[in-house]
Amino acid sequence: MKPFGYLIPKSLARACSLLSEYEGQAKIIAGGQSMLPQLKQRLISPEFLIEIKHLKGLQYVKSDRDGLRIGAMTTHRAIESSLVIKKKFPLLAEMETRLADSQVRNWGTIGGNLSHADPTGDPAPALIALGAQVQATSVRGSRAIPLEDFFLDFMTTALADDEILTEISIPYLPPHTAGAYYKESVRPNDSAIASAAVVIGLAGGKVTRADIVLGGVGSTPIPAKQAAQLLIGKKVTAGLVEQVGAAAVAEIRPTSDMHSSEEYKRLIAKVVVEQMVNAAARRAEA
């Protein structure tokens, strides 16, 4: 790694002012589980790192009246084992068990993961499907960004250079609404070849809400809006699910990588979407 200065602000406010002050020369480091490999490969070489992982004020899982709020410095492990998350959003706890390995999950944070914006990442599709939004904080104040608008391009987020992702909030799911997440990869917790997070809401046996978000098949997570729209007002049948799968594939933009070709990603994406639509619908019924 190229040497850097390491700054340890005592508060979020101080972290924001440092980030502003060191404009362009500093990067925020959380758990560093994605950042350290980048530093070692010299893909990035900031002159300063500003640590925020230690800020206890950003480590929480809180239940509000309308939903859950998760502090950006909450580790993946805390999310995986949180009782309230297992109860209210089992999809998230399941997703976390597929993320990397226990060592990475013990130290890495959800905020760091989302800010890093790896298009094969696990949390983003699941959180987008759940309708999450994030809080971006800077010396100029704080603003909410819907997560589906957060990922602009390959590893590029809507965060301004002086903004820090500080919180993720997720609205509770109404009754008969449930989600499912699956990632196809070479080994169970490897990077996604194609992944799908699906949230389905049912009323009277018909779909009232459908969110389908794919990972690993574009430069950002891809909400398959047209595919999801096909489900609204209908009963979930095998024929419809097949149409939805095919429609979802039409919305993705995969590129070949060392683990799979573009063609293979398209094949897998269709299957994963179909399976997750079925799984989410089954869970929503229960």
Partner 1 sequence: MKERLNLRVNGENYEVFAEPSSTLVEVLREELNLTGTKTGCDSGRCGACSVLIDGKAVKSCNVLAIQARDREITTIEGLGGRNGELHPLQEAFIENFAFQCGFCTPGMIIASKALLDENPSPTEEEVKAGLEGNLCRCTGYVKIIEAVLAAPGKIQIRSAK
Point out which residues bind partner 1 (CB under 8 A): 1-6, 29, 32-33, 36-37, 39-40, 49, 51, 53, 77, 97, 100-104, 106-107, 188-189
Q: Amino acid identity, residue 35? A: M
Minimum CB–partner distance for residue 228 and partner 1 (Å): 31
In the complex with partner 1, the residue whose CB is nearer, 61 or 271, is 61
Closest to partner 1 by CB, 80 vs 211, is: 80
- Closest approach, Cβ 174 to partner 1, in A, equals 32
Do 127 and 99 meet the contact criterion of CB atoms below 8 Å apart? no
CB of 167 to partner 1, least distance (A): 22
Which is closer to partner 1, CB of 42 or CB of 65? 42
Alpha carbon distance 283, 149 (integer Å): 27
Tell me which residue of 214, 200, 209 sits closest to 250, measured CA to CA.
Answer: 214
Helix axes 262-285, 238-250, angle to 10 degrees: 140
Least Cβ distance, residue 196 to partner 1 (angstroms): 22
- In the complex with partner 1, which residue's Cβ is closer, 98 or 209? 98
Tally the residues of the chain: 286
Strand partners, 28: 50
Closer by beta carbon to partner 1, 39 or else 124: 39
Identify the sign of the CA torsion 222, 257, 44, 11: positive
Minimum CB separation of residue 55 from partner 1 in Å reads 13
**What's the closest the beta carbon of residue 14 comes to partner 1, in angstroms?**
17
Give me the sign of the Cα torsion angle 137, 142, 148, 149. Answer: negative
Give CA torsion, residues 100, 49, 58, 97, to 10 deg.
0
Nearer to partner 1, 61 or 104 (CB): 104
Give me the least distance between CB of 45 and partner 1, in Å please: 10
**Interacting residues of 224 by C-beta distance below 8 A, sequence separation 6+:** 212, 213, 214, 247, 248, 251, 252, 273
Nearest Cα neighbor of 7 from 34, 47, 40, 35 is 47
Is the Cβ of residue 104 or residue 203 nearer to partner 1 in the bound state?
104
Strand partners, 49: 6, 27
